[in-house]
Structure formats: structure tokens, C-alpha cells
Amino acid sequence: MAGQGERLPAQRSGTFRLGGDLPVVRLGYGAMQLTGPGVWGEPRDRGEARAVLRRAVELGVDFIDTADSYGPYVSEEIIAEALYPYGDSLVIATKAGLVRTGPGEWHPVGRPEYLRQEVEMSLRRLRLERIDLLQLHRIDPEVPAADQIGVLADMKAEGKIRHIGLSEVSVDEIEQARSITEIVSVQNLYNLANRKSEAVLEYAERQGLGFIPWFPIATGELAKPGGPLASIAQEHGATPAQLALAWLLRRSPVVLPIPGTSRVAHLEENVAAAEVELTDDEFESLSKAV
């Protein structure tokens, strides 16, 4: 345990204020893997899943990202089992808007009455009176976006949601949502090997929005022996995954990586990425490698 005034491992990644008023440690934890195969059903070891969450908090993680569709419902239930009553600084972000019909199957449903129901049920499962960050998991193309964002804005006005975020959206979709209510974050697929959301990240930077990259550790060919990621990792005495996370943290101060795992040892390895400092040349080398 860190001594008084000493930063915990995750805290070395720095902080970001969601919406300007909600500080979180930048290196968070994504709770999707606290479920069974295909993000469906119970985890192999529910006790280990609880231990991962408790260890994350011990290491200084105070931003946990989940969704009602993880399990479904299993991830939220385990978070409450492991961490309730929550510490004052802990921020739990969840999502609504995807329905599950089986392992690996995801379907957007954005009817306002459904979104309202799911937010209410997330509040109950997480044992919260207000969700700090509620993200629309996907925009349902069959429902007007204004209706989907509008019901979340209504629930924010009712005090059930503090801040609203979006997931897998374009810049145009963010701007449309921002014309209806305040948006504080966006969660898109983004990692060292896949930067198709670069324009969205640059927009988030300009507007001061948190950018939460999901699937943050994909390394692919870069991690092969002799590749740029493996070579620089060896120089740092780190793993390629830690380098991939360090690159994200260096990429922009608005980036909030949320690596997930179902094992305590893997969690500790991921959090240690906060201590890896890339030189300018190393960052540029990795940036240009894809």
C-alpha cells in the first residue's frame, strides 16, 4: 500500500475531469470480461472476478466501465457485490442500448421507453441513486437519434444520470447529440493498430471530451519478435501490451484507456503500464509503425 502522499500505481497515469467536474484516474478498468465466453453468462470464477475489481481499486483505479449488456447484467451485479458501498472517488460508467440474444450477439434497441427501463434497472443492480456516466451503447438506426438522446437528457434532469456519453459514433453524430444535451465522453474502437477513429479523437481533444478507447491493447503484427512494439518493450523491460497502453496515454490527455481482464495478475500487469514513459522518438516510432 502506498504511503501518505505517495501515488498509487494507476494514479501515475494522471487524471481527467469528465464534464469539467468529475475527476477520474486516466487508466481505468473495463468490466466486460467479468462474464462468460462471448460476454455471456457467468464467469468461470465469480470470486476471482470480485478479487479483480477490489485489486483494481487498491491499485488506484477509480474509473470502472461496464454495460447492462455484459452478461447481460452479470458485470453490473458483480461490481456491486465486490465494491458496494463505493468509495467517494469511485466512478462507475455503464451503458444502455444493446440487447443480447446469445453469446457474441448484440442488437441495438434505442426506443426511449426501453432505454429508460434499462437505466432504472442499472441503478438498481449497481445500488446507485445516480449513474455518474451513462453512455448510449449504440445509436439505433431505427429510432430518431433525438429521441434516444432526449430520454437520457430527461433522466439527467431527473437526477438519475450525472453525465451522458456516446459509443461508436462519428463526429457528426456527436455534434447532433450535443445540440440536444451536454455530451462529456465518447467510446470508440481505437488502439495502436487500429486508428480509424482518429478524427473522433481529434474532435474530442478540441472539445475537451473524454475519449475512451475500447479494445485498447490490440497489437497484432507490431508485437511479433523483431517488430517495433516488441523491440521497444524489451528496452523498457515491459510487455508489448504495456507499451500499447503507454502509447495511448501519451497520445492525448483526453484518452482514458480501460483495459479489461478476469485475472488479478493480468490486471496488475496492465496497471503497471502507467509507469512506462515513452521518449519522443519511441512514441513517434510506434505511431508511424502502422
* Residue 109, SS3 per DSSP: coil
- Give pLDDT tens digits for 18-34: 999 999 999 999 999 99
* Residue 118, SS3 per DSSP: helix
- Residue 101 backbone dihedrals phi, psi, to 5 degrees: -120, 0
pLDDT of residue 99 exceeding 90, the answer is yes
The whole-number pLDDT of residue 54 equals 98
Domain count, the chain: 1
If you average pLDDT over residues 93-116, what whole number do you get?
A: 98
Ranking 3-12, 53-62, 140-149, 151-160 by mean pLDDT, the lowest is 3-12
Q: How far is CA 122 from the centre of its chain?
A: 17
The one catalytic residue in 70, 73, 114, 190 is: 70
With CA atoms as reference, report the closest residue to 257 among 46, 7, 24, 39.
24
The whole-number pLDDT of residue 250 equals 97
Instruction: Examine residue 229 and state whether it is found in any structural domain, yes or no.
Output: no
Instruction: Examine residue 158 and state whether it is found in any structural domain, yes or no.
Output: yes
pLDDT of residue 13 exceeding 60, the answer is yes
If you average pLDDT over residues 267-282, what whole number do you get?
A: 96
Instruction: Examine residue 285 and state whether it is found in any structural domain, yes or no.
Output: no
The whole-number pLDDT of residue 157 equals 98
User: All 3 cell numbers of residue 249?
Assistant: 496515454
Please give the residue that has the higher pLDDT: either 229 or 223. 229
% the chain with pLDDT above 70 = 97
The whole-number pLDDT of residue 3 equals 53
pTM: 0.95
pLDDT of residue 2 exceeding 90, the answer is no
pLDDT of residue 92 exceeding 60, the answer is yes
The whole-number pLDDT of residue 231 equals 84
Instruction: Examine residue 91 and state whether it is found in any structural domain, yes or no.
Output: yes
Instruction: Examine residue 41 and state whether it is found in any structural domain, yes or no.
Output: yes
Domain that holds residue 150: 9-216+252-261
Contacts of 18 (CB under 8 A, 6+ apart): 24, 91, 132, 133, 163, 184, 185, 210
The whole-number pLDDT of residue 289 equals 81
Q: How confident is the model at residue 218 (pLDDT cuts 50, 70, 90)?
A: confident
CA distance 258 to 245: 9
CA distance 1 to 97: 39
Instruction: Examine residue 277 and state whether it is found in any structural domain, yes or no.
Output: no
- Give pLDDT tens digits for 245-262: 999 999 999 999 999 999
Mean pLDDT of the chain: 95
With CA atoms as reference, report the closest residue to 34 among 270, 254, 264, 207.
264
Instruction: Examine residue 104 and state whether it is found in any structural domain, yes or no.
Output: yes
If you average pLDDT over residues 97-109, what whole number do you get?
A: 98
With CA atoms as reference, report the closest residue to 120 among 158, 92, 84, 86.
158
The whole-number pLDDT of residue 255 equals 98
Would you call 70 a catalytic residue per the annotation?
Answer: yes
If you average pLDDT over residues 91-99, what whole number do you get?
A: 98
Indicate which CATH number applies to the domain containing 203.
3.20.20.100
Q: How confident is the model at residue 48 (pLDDT cuts 50, 70, 90)?
A: very high
The whole-number pLDDT of residue 217 equals 87
Instruction: Examine residue 269 and state whether it is found in any structural domain, yes or no.
Output: no
